[in-house]
Structure 1
């Protein structure tokens, strides 16, 4: 590590911070899939993708589409413009934020049940995650979506404290990820194609949920091939150069996310992994991560 790397990462190894984030992420990420969210957004009058874009962007207030396009990064701008700013004429940002929290509450209650919700483990996990999220708030520079979300009030119940803390940590990491991607010079759709080429998420899921046409996707594939980042073939795979670039992005993302977790130290991060792993398992077992229901 360079001197800059040490100053950026803090007291926790980036790999451990990444493990803590990845283990806990389902507890937050389920909000994009669960019927509790779909139904509540629809009750507000938000149609199609409005609920997704408006619920994440509502912390900004009633911003225009360009702010959402910039901060969400890899969505087709036309998809965003179909939802924003029309969503604000249907429901106020504060109402959407309240609805989102109500949806998270209902979904987590369904997944965890009363015993896990009331457990000492839930309270401990919430406390650890909140410490990390509040530490992250000391580093808002260059993180617009995180900074806006960090200004929202904290809920009271432990499972919602945990959910909100993990929301903050997701956006903290996400803003850093966008910064790393910008340094590669790749566009949003090109970054998605490279992600698909890792084989971790099906290309069709990424293309469809981000609103890109097959023709637009194929054009991005051709460009990445011409730049030497993708192999030829029906199912594009990363070249050695592509893998190196992708790894560089992931390493820098880990590095700039790590300061949030430094306050926990290795022991606290390890404990968060243990506790959040149990709760994330309950979320998965309850079917809250059904990607066919992407908002």
Structure 2
């Protein structure tokens, strides 16, 4: 974690004020989490542990859920980039130089986002905007091009779904039966919005990675087929949970009670 500064105008920014309060706090917290180049490891458990350690102790499930949603919202709104290099996930704060001015930045610890990714997204966006001409003089040609445009939109939709799946799949800790998982993802994308579906996969994938061994993590295809995005997020097993101060106090009180009972039995004997 690093010391960062917050400009006063940050809080009055229309872009920032449009974000939910949780997302604003997570966004500012990420500034301390990332390195001097605005890049950090995209790992839910590490981010939550650095920014909300006390909250994890009180309610790990709720904390992981809120942080996961916040990261997805920040990504969807263009505040952070999320990408994979060498099978490792990273995130980068967009417009980092506008938010922080580092006088003597350290050398980059992590790779920067792939510059080709934005080009791919722009290409997909342009495909969906094609409209065939339909003037009287070009009716036949217009009809033909309209059909081609419809195919292009369909292809673009398929590409969007596949791209969303690839991004979400990188967060799922159990990498098995990818082809089946993609088909289930396409089916599920017809039941709920694509953005919501991808967010659920990311959220649950990060939660499984933080709380469950790969052996007991369900395959993504099976998870999607059972529509388990409606389940509660997985949490740490009770046996593995770090005892809270309340737990320790309760154990102490119970120990005193046992000693008192033993003393009473000794007196009665």
The one of the two structures with greater contact order (alpha-carbon pairs below 8 A, sep at least 6) is 1
Which range, TM-score by smaller chain?
under 0.3
Structure with the greater alpha carbon radius of gyration: 2
TM-score by length of 2: 0.27
**Higher helix fraction: Structure 1 or Structure 2?**
1
TM-score of the superposed pair, with normalisation by structure 1? 0.25
